[in-house]
Structure 1
Amino acid sequence: MENAALLNAIIANAIDGIITIDNRGCIESINPSGCKLFQYTPEEVIGKNVSMLMPPPDKEQHDEYLARYQRTGQAHIIGIGREVKGLRKDGSIFPFRLGVSEVAYSGRNIYTGFIHDLSREKEAEEQLKEYAAQLEEQVAERTQSLQRLVQALELAKEEVSESLEKEKELGILKSRFVSMASHEFRTPLSAVQLSASLIEKYALSYGNPNISKHVGKIKNAVGNLTAILNDFLSLEKLEAGKVEPAFSSFDLVKLAEEITEEMQLLAKQNQNIIYQHTGTQHMVRLDQNLLKNCVVNLIGNAIKYSGENTFIEFNTEISEQGCQVTIKDNGIGIPETDQKHLFEAFFRAHNTGNIPGTGLGLNIVARYADLMHGQVSFKSEVNQGTLFTISLPIL
């Protein structure tokens, strides 16, 4: 009795479905897992032919097996591990692995079916096949795209080889391309900037803060793209040796005040640029455009890398030793390990995060200062801010 109770408990708690049928195919018992798989109660299936749980053509084949047994007295025993389909009460069909064993009991034969649901495995297989097919399709597309690209590159290489005989001429072509690309990009960017400004103006009457917010994002994105184009064009000109300083006399204080006014418009909320000049002399003889580019770049960095509600100190000084321009912020600072690489092209400090930039600005500033026979130095601490100094001789 104890063994029988243990056996019943094992069958009742089995993960797989277990069904017993007699030699006529009628169901004698079904465990809870089998009921759950087929969505029937024991009362609905016990005494019924097991073919009620089979979809076509398995149902017809089972009837043929029974007919053969009735004619010949020999049962058709299904091998272990066969994959078949099951028919649920709601009409849905699912795959399962069927194992059948024959047991002689009390002078008669009983057939026990062990049913292991394969729905998840089949779904996983189908997903894997689908992913594999998608991957093969993507690989084929990428391969074709790569082949087209290689062909285009080979064709371009041949065309360039035919038209350019020297490396110098190739450099000229690159220079023309950068200039053309910069020009072609600037035109639509200017149009986008103008349209954004007009949208902002027309939207004032609606009083919708979301419009101003998104227009501001457009303006910032256009400004970032324009700055990137300017950096690349400046670098290309420097590399090509096209930048020659044009020294002239001008009022340094007037230039600095103009720059302060322009950059204040780009500052963050409650971010103030404080300008101060030391000395009674205002006139210098330098390249005004190169100096302005240097100062705008450094103040732009101070704005980017400092938070709201901060001050940016912008100072100029003219003395017998020369001209000095300093820009000081209270921003994120530059890690000590990065400082030795700061003026390298395309280098950005590791703490800049998602703040946009090309890593070209300081390289350009240093090279512009060098063209004016000056130099750039800095002092910085992380989270304490940075002080940049441009030292230039008075010619």
Structure 2
Amino acid sequence: MADDIRPPHALSCDTTGEGLRLSGDLTVWTLPELPAQAGRLDLSGLTRLDTAGAWEIARRQQAGAQIDGLSPGHARLLDVVTAALPRPDPQSPPETGMRVWFANIGVSVAGFGAQMAELAEYFGRFLASVGRAIRHPSEFRLTSLVYHCQETGLRAVPIVSLMAFLIGIVLAFQGATQLKQFGAEIFVVDLISISLLRELGILMTAIVVAGRTASALTASIGSMKMQEEIDAMRTLGLDPDMVLLLPRVLALVLMLPILGLVANIAGLVGGGLMSWITLGISPSMFTGRLVADTSIWHAVVGLSKAPVFALVIGIIGVRGGMKVGNDAASLGAMTSTAVVQAIFAVIVLDAIFSIFFSEIGI
């Protein structure tokens, strides 16, 4: 059927010493008759040339073949087709030495900037969700908030209390060992109270919560994304920020100060117990020294960091879950990444807070 509608085309290919001499029609119909390899093409005998033939000539010319004998009309067509051919990417210089070092630094800085922009985006989405919940209280999921308060707060009390209790014991033991040399054993109370209330209590609590909760947030939201549950929420008209982001982050913001207070109390109990055993400082003496010489501002400074730590941990965990792909490998990778980023962010923020409070004299 195709032979009946094909126009009569003919292409003659004569081999010369340096290549081929073509005569006749070089069109889409005769293109299969053109030999694959030829270093030089003499086209002075062509009577007809279409776009397909010009594309083949341009491709061979780009590969290094020599083209001769084109008529002016055919040359104009070849120029148009050649201009439309894709150009190969220029070869980049070999990456060695300082070039590789600077390239890696640039990639790292660009990646860090992109991550900061994404975290700022999720922070803005959290604030927008809070504003929406205030304007439309019926959309706020109180049951979800209570559930996540239990998961992130109540269930973390045993591990946080044990951790703080042991830290108080270690501080008292190490402080007693050093202060005995100067006969200043009583100052171990100040050492324990200030270090726990101001720094270690809330810092260690935030690190424990970052390792425990950031991974849980990333894993739970990531598994929902893998199973397309988040897409199903959008299909049903539910806002993932109101359903997933707001309850989880708000629960952390509410519960981390309470966990910090629990850690402070447990740490003081552990420090007081060890002081009683090693230094003979009775509980009444320990309590009296604590109340008389330790300012309440140390506890205020420590607990004031908790909402900021909670906000950062929650946003990093939720963002990690939203970044999970469709495979289990990405879920594991983003979970570990979220934990590392949350712990690192908590430590950096604590250092910034320490410098800030020191500069303003608190």
TM-score, normalization: structure 2? 0.27
Q: Which has the higher contact order (CA 8 A, sep 6+)?
A: 2
Q: Give the structure with the larger strand fraction.
A: 1
**Pair member with larger Rg:** 1
TM-score, normalization: structure 1? 0.25
